[in-house]
């Protein structure tokens, strides 16, 4: 797992990295207070479900991303 921190020591994002690729789970705390987690949407890792959440965990929206080579672009 790779963790990233701001100057105050708060976690701003984390994810698993294997051979230079980002693997799930992924989670980022956005500057406006929203949270962006990503999880696999299937068993073979070719689909990721991104969700935008409020600070208290309520869903704002979601995006499903498909990939043949398990490479994903993190949305903002």
To 5 degrees, how large is the angle CA 4–CA 8–CA 13?
20
User: Can you give the pTM of this predicted structure?
Assistant: 0.83
Write down the pLDDT at residue 14: 94
| pLDDT at 52 (0 to 100) | 96
Q: List, for residues 42-64, the tens digit of each pLDDT value.
A: 998 899 999 999 999 999 999 99
Residue 75 pLDDT > 80, yes or no?
Answer: yes
pLDDT for the residue 70: 73
The answer, yes or no, to whether residue 71 has pLDDT greater than 90, is no
């Amino acid at each position: 797992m790779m963790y990233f921190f701001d100057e105050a020591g708060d976690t701003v994002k984390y994810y698993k990295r294997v051979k230079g690729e980002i693997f799930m789970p992924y989670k980022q705390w956005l500057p406006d207070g929203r949270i962006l987690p990503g999880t696999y949407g299937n068993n073979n890792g070719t689909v990721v479900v991104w969700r935008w959440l409020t600070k208290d965990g309520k869903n704002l929206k979601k995006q499903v991303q498909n990939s043949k080579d398990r490479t994903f672009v993190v949305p903002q």
